[in-house]
Each structure stands twice: as C-alpha cells, then as structure tokens.
Amino acid sequence: MVSMKDIAIRCGVSVATVSKALSGQQDIGEATRQRIVRAAEELGYTGNSLARALKTNHTYNIGILFSDLSNSGFMHEYFASTLNSLRTEAERCGYDITFISNNVGHQSTSYLRHALYRGVDGVVIICADFRDPLVQELVNSEIPVITLDHTFNNRAAVLSDNMDGMEALVRYAYEMGHRRIAYIHGNPTAVTENRMTGFYRACEALELTVPPEYIEECEYHEPISCYHATKRLLALAERPTCIFFSDDYSYIGGSNAILEAGLRVPEDISVIGYDGIHMAKMLSPKLTTWQQNTTELGRIAAARLIERIEHPRTTPPEHIVVHGGLLEGETVRRLD
Amino acid sequence: MVSMKDIAIRCGVSVATVSKALSGQQDIGEATRQRIVRAAEELGYTGNSLARALKTNHTYNIGILFSDLSNSGFMHEYFASTLNSLRTEAERCGYDITFISNNVGHQSTSYLRHALYRGVDGVVIICADFRDPLVQELVNSEIPVITLDHTFNNRAAVLSDNMDGMEALVRYAYEMGHRRIAYIHGNPTAVTENRMTGFYRACEALELTVPPEYIEECEYHEPISCYHATKRLLALAERPTCIFFSDDYSYIGGSNAILEAGLRVPEDISVIGYDGIHMAKMLSPKLTTWQQNTTELGRIAAARLIERIEHPRTTPPEHIVVHGGLLEGETVRRLD
DNA sequence: CGCTTTCGGGTAAACGATTACGTAAACGCA
DNA sequence: TGCGTTTACGTAATCGTTTACCCGAAAGCG
C-alpha cells in the first residue's frame, strides 16, 4: 500500500505538505501541489479511510439497521427498493453503507456498541422491531439516527403516507360504488396500524359501517395466511364486494383463494392491494393498489441523515412524509 | 468515547496492559485481568475498529460489489436472498459488510481503489458486469475475491448449477411426454449462457430437434419483453407444447400473453420457469421450476471468502457448485 | 535600510489501538 | 548465595493521517 510517506519521499517534501496538497489547503505553492498530485497519480495513491477517520472522527460511513422479524426483510420489495435508492443517494454524497447487527466480532452485543465500534456517522433504522430495548438504546444515543415508517420523539423520521393512502383507497372503492368492503390487515406494527386508522377514518367519514366479520388479520407479507383469511371472507353469508389486502404480495394468496372459489376478478369480486410492487403491474388483471414512493423514501432518508450528520445544529429532527399515489389497475369493478 | 487509556488510568496500569488483558494474552496476572475487564464493563468500553484495523491491517469488513446493469439488482429475489444469507454467515464469522461502488468520496474512481480505501479484507462480486475492466482490475488485484455465478482463472467462485438444472428440466419435460419445447432465454450472461448450453445438451442427448423459431430471446428478469416473446411463440403455426422461461419473474409476462390468447395452463400449454422464487409457489397453478439454493450460495460465498482471507496459503481458489432441485409444480401437463 | 506581512513549507503531537522488547521482582535449584 | 528462568507489567514505536503551530525567506512599505 502506497501511503503519503511514499509520496513525500519521492517529492522531497514532508508528509504534512502532501496531506495539505491532496486535501486542497491553501498554504501550499501551486508548483509543489502539482508535483505532489502527479506523484500521487503515478504511484496509484489511494488514501486510507481508517487513518483519516481515526484522526477526524468522521468515517463517511452510515449504518443500516434492519432486523427482519418476519424474515421477509431483503425479500420485501419495499425494503429492497428503498435500500437501493438510499445507497445511491448516500454514495452521491460520498458515504458508504454498512449493516449494523447486534453482534460484533464473534460475540453479541448491542446495536449501539456495534455502531460505536465501527464508528458510523449515523444510522438508518428500517424494518426493525422498534420496541426492542436495544433499538431504543441506539435511538437515545448521541449517534444521529433516522427511522423509516416509525417516529420517535425528537428524532428524524421519514414516513410513507400510510394513513392517507389507505383513506384514498377507501374513497376510491366508495366512488366505484362499493359499500360492502372487507379488510385483511397485517399484524400490528406502526405501518399496519396507520393503515387501519386510515381505513376506519375513511369509513367513518363516508358513513360506511363495517361489520366485524369483514375485518380479518393475517401475517403481513405472507400469502399463505392471507389465503386463509380470504377463504373465511368468501364463506360469509353476505360476501363483501371488495376486499382490501394488507399488501400486494399477500394478495397472491388471496388471489388463489378467489380462483378456488370459482370467482373472477373483478367481475365477481373486486380487490385492492397496497405497496405498488413491480409485480402488481404485471398481474393480469393489473392490481389496483397504492404506490409507495420507495425511491423517494430511500433518497430522503439518506439525504436527511447526512444533513443531520454534517450540520447537526441547523438541521432539526423533522418528520417528513413521502406521498404515494393511487395505482389504478383493473381489479375494481364499478358497481351501479 | 471511552478508550483503553481511560481504563488504564482507572486501573493504574498502562495501555499495553489493558490491550493484553482485553485481547486475551497470557502474560498478564489473573487478578489484574479481572480488574481491567470489570472496569471495561463499567465504563462501557467498546473498542475502536478503525484504530485496531490501522495497526493490524485487518478490518473484519468484506465488500460487496454488485452493479446492477438491468437495474433489477436488489429487486431480484435471487440477489436479495443470497445477500441475506451471505450477511448472516459473515456476521457469524465476525465480519461486517460494506457495499463497494466505483466512487469514493465525491469523485468516481475504480472498485479496487474503493476497496483499498476502505481496507476491506475481501470482496464478493455478484450480479456485476464481469467484462467491465474495472471489475477485472479488482479481480486481478491482491485482494481476496470470490465471484458468484462466474468463474475467473485462479479465483474462487461459487456457482449455481445452471447447466445441470436446465438439463434436468428438459429431461423432466421430455419424460412428461413433451417433444415440441420452446425456450425464451435471457440476454447473454454467464448465467443465461450456461442454461442455454444445458438446454441444447439435453436436447441433443434426447435426440430432440428444436426448430430455430422455438428459441426466443428476452430481457432477463423483465416480464414485458417476455410477454412479447411469448406472443410470438403462441402465434406459430405449430405451437410448442411446453415453453421454458428465462426465469420465474419473467413468466409473469408470459402468463399474461397466454391468458390473452385464451389458453389455459397446463391444459393447453405447459410452462417451466427457473429460480424457484417465493412467488412461484404462490401462483395458481404452482409453477414448475428449478429451485436455486440461494441460501447455500450466500453462505458458502461468505464462508469460502473468509477462509481465503484467514488462511490464504492453505485455501485454494476453488470453484464450488451449489446444487438446486426440481420444484415440481402444476404447470406441466403429462402428454400421452 | 529596517520593519512587518505574507507565502511556503516543516515539526510534532495526536487519534486508539497493537506488539516487540525491556526489565524488575519473584522463584527455582544446586 | 548465586544465577538462570519465569511472571507480570511497562516503554516506546508504529499504523497513515490531520492539524495547530513554528519558522525562514521573500516581499512590501515608508
């Protein structure tokens, strides 16, 4: 590994001079700078982030914390897509990304310890169990943190408009003439609870009464349990005319249940998903759903976190809502 | 940040003694060690990976290089799932994961430079454009490297059995009585070419002649172009009885084309995918496909790379093949 | 011609760990 | 008692940078 020392020797200057020349200080002669920069090129100098970080206390590294309870983690397109744009934005700002787990070396510790050990400048918390004391410890630490789809007091957060999105979907179904609307919601998290709230709020505003048997629970992002929930709904004496699913992916299970029952979408029953994953547009008929703006979620999360890292004083821990949009597919029939 | 110095002061010993006590050297009194370990606990000592790595030249960090040409990258379940198990295994071995891009700081450089800058101990190359000179530069460097689904001379690699898998699928279709078999293959990469080879090899062994119009090309992992390729096949005078798709995900497009043509799977036409993504098992009818063992791919990639990092002399750069298995769904009809 | 500024660059300490080597005390043994 | 060996810990250099401070020479100025 070629270091500043090598360059210094070759140019007959001190290491300090090399450092200054390469980092663009002013108190250096233009001729010397040129010489040094050229030598650095020729020797293939790369720099050493470890040494730099050790001295400056700034690693240009941000940690990602996501513990996938449901083990869907990476598989969930929501996460994959968000992470992708998060990474892109971070790289654009000169930051790299490292995963933070609750073990370092061979033994398990806390997320905070891991973050401190690696010296990350900040952490994005996504898809994690926010009730976990270890997560709380990290959130309450000195390290800048931003959470996705969950809010903590006095901490930055980026949120998808789950409540508004669900409200808009209900209104859409209502406008299409549906009055008997069922909802298979996911198991309780901040996200699914927000959607529930949106659902009930819209129903109330529209003066829709939802019989309790129209509300089913399934595992979020899990088609099998959704399949069973759907079967239960279809077996009801007074069948709903429209079913809301917890998420697009779960709908695969629901779809199977509907087909098995000999029903057609949307002629016999209408369905609505949530997420707007790529697959939703590929299905036939195309799924009507709410498109989350994962690209913006990831981008903003990275950008805001970096803002807070670089300008802690002037950047308040805001809660930013990213809006999605109705993706009108072909799975909701107009009733008259 | 509490450092060894703080512990040293509190215990009235030197920093060297603290280091020895904490890293488990022998030349230390048992009583002193206890004292130091306790003090470390009490002060909440975490260690500093940067300082340690600077001195030992070992970061316990491995880089992931994946440049997603098709922009499917993270979205592809193959990648997501492999990355997930790779990360799990790496963490089990005490390693963290960082993404390696071709830019560091605010300016673009090479992958190698990035890897050197961050001081990663090794790199896993996955889903990348292996023809890229920048990738080659990294592969030919001193840094331990392992590639997924691509082989370089004298470099470790982990491979999915794409050729065997495809051969097995063809044999399966043959045994089910199919003789008119079409294949929509993905655009050329090491992966798709291996599958092609497997396809032709099996056909030859079975003395099946494949008319050229039965071979179509589409964008890998892209349902839209697969939709069009499927339409072309269905429009042929002598329609194939079974269509092989480049991958499960693309089949979504193919499925739509089939439905539009008013055909049923598998009654009117049989279909076979490749990958064994979660969705394949959720579709109705269940897709017959080849299940890639992504869990093993990721695990072995991490394990082998770490082996080569820690025991470079005794670990040859092997090419390891991970076997998948036939996932018998309901999309291939038995012909008689 | 003296004096202060500015310019260009060097010195050295520091970041937080690791480790080869030194050394004083205790111990073993004839 | 004398001498070698072990035990337990300290000293100091080092990894590759950054940065506050220092200093000589050239330049500017009246």
The beta-carbon neighbor of B282 closest among A73, A74, A253 is: A253
B116 touches chain A (CB under 8 A): yes
Give, for B291, the enclosing helix (H) or strand (E). strand B289-291
**Cβ of A75 and B74 within 8 Å?**
no
Structure confidence at residue B103 (pLDDT): 77
CB-facing half-sphere around the CA of B62: CA atoms within 13 A:
29
Q: In degrees, to the nearest 5, what angle opens at C-alpha A126 toward C-alphas A124 and A132?
A: 100
Intra-chain end-to-end CA distance of chain B, in Å: 75
**Cβ of A75 and B53 within 8 Å?**
no
Structure confidence at residue A69 (pLDDT): 61
Distance B14 CA to C30 C1' (A): 38
Q: Under a CB-based contact definition with an 8 Å cutoff, are residues A254 and A227 in contact?
A: yes
Q: Under a CB-based contact definition with an 8 Å cutoff, are residues B84 and B95 in contact?
A: no
The beta-carbon neighbor of A283 closest among B101, B113, B252 is: B252
Complete DSSP assignment for A85-132 = HHHHHHHHTT-EEEE--SEETTEE--HHHHHHHHT-SEEEE-S--TT-
Give the closest residue to B295 by CA, choosing from B315, B274, B318, B323. B323
Low-confidence ranges of chain A (pLDDT < 70): 68-73
Structure confidence at residue A155 (pLDDT): 96
Q: pLDDT truncated to tens, each residue of chain B (336 aa)?
A: 899 999 999 999 999 999 999 998 888 999 999 999 999 999 999 999 999 999 999 999 999 998 766 555 677 888 889 999 999 999 999 999 999 988 777 778 899 999 999 999 999 999 788 989 999 999 999 999 999 999 999 999 999 999 999 999 999 999 999 999 999 999 998 899 999 999 999 999 999 999 999 999 999 988 999 999 999 999 999 999 999 999 999 999 999 999 999 999 999 999 999 999 988 988 889 999 999 999 999 999 999 999 999 999 898 999 999 999 999 999 999 998
A262-320 confidence digits (pLDDT tens): 999 999 999 999 999 988 988 889 999 999 999 999 999 999 999 999 999 898 999 99
Tell me which chain A residues have a C-beta less than 8 angstroms from the C-beta of B50. 50, 53-54, 59, 119
Distance B80 CA to C28 C1' (A): 64
Structure confidence at residue B127 (pLDDT): 76
Q: Under a CB-based contact definition with an 8 Å cutoff, are residues B181 and B242 in contact?
A: yes
Intra-chain end-to-end CA distance of chain A, in Å: 75
Nearest residue of chain B to residue A98 (CA atoms): B98
**Cβ of A96 and B113 within 8 Å?**
no
Q: Under a CB-based contact definition with an 8 Å cutoff, are residues A111 and A138 in contact?
A: yes
A9 touches chain B (CB under 8 A): no
**Burial zone of A223 (CB within 10 Å; 0-12 exposed, 13-18 middle, 19+ buried):** buried
Minimal Cα–Cα distance from A75 to chain B, Å? 6
Structure confidence at residue A102 (pLDDT): 81
Structure confidence at residue B70 (pLDDT): 58
**Cβ of B282 and A256 within 8 Å?**
yes
Count Cβ atoms below 10 Å from residue A13 Cβ, excluding itself: 18
Q: In degrees, to the nearest 5, what angle opens at C-alpha A6 toward C-alphas A4 and A12?
A: 95
Q: Under a CB-based contact definition with an 8 Å cutoff, are residues A315 and A308 in contact?
A: yes
Q: Under a CB-based contact definition with an 8 Å cutoff, are residues A118 and A126 in contact?
A: no
Tokens linked to B253: 């497009």
Distance A14 CA to D20 C1' (A): 16
CA closest to C16 C1', residue: B51
Asked if the peptide bond before residue A240 counts as cis, ω within 30 degrees of 0, the response is no
Q: Which stretches does DSSP call E strand in chain A?
A: 61-65, 96-99, 103-104, 107-108, 122-125, 145-148, 156-160, 181-186, 215-218, 242-244, 270-272, 289-291, 319-322, 325-327
Minimal Cα–Cα distance from B119 to chain A, Å? 7
Structure confidence at residue A178 (pLDDT): 98
Q: Model pTM?
A: 0.93
Give, for B181, the enclosing helix (H) or strand (E). strand B181-186
Q: Under a CB-based contact definition with an 8 Å cutoff, are residues A35 and A17 in contact?
A: no
A96 touches chain B (CB under 8 A): yes
**Cβ of A260 and B284 within 8 Å?**
yes
Whole-angstrom Cα distance, residue B46 to residue A59?
A: 17
Bases of chain D with protein Cβ within 7 A: 7-12, 14-20
Tokens linked to B8: 């040293």
Whole-angstrom Cα distance, residue A99 to residue A89?
A: 16
**Cβ of A284 and B87 within 8 Å?**
no
Tokens linked to A250: 């779960």
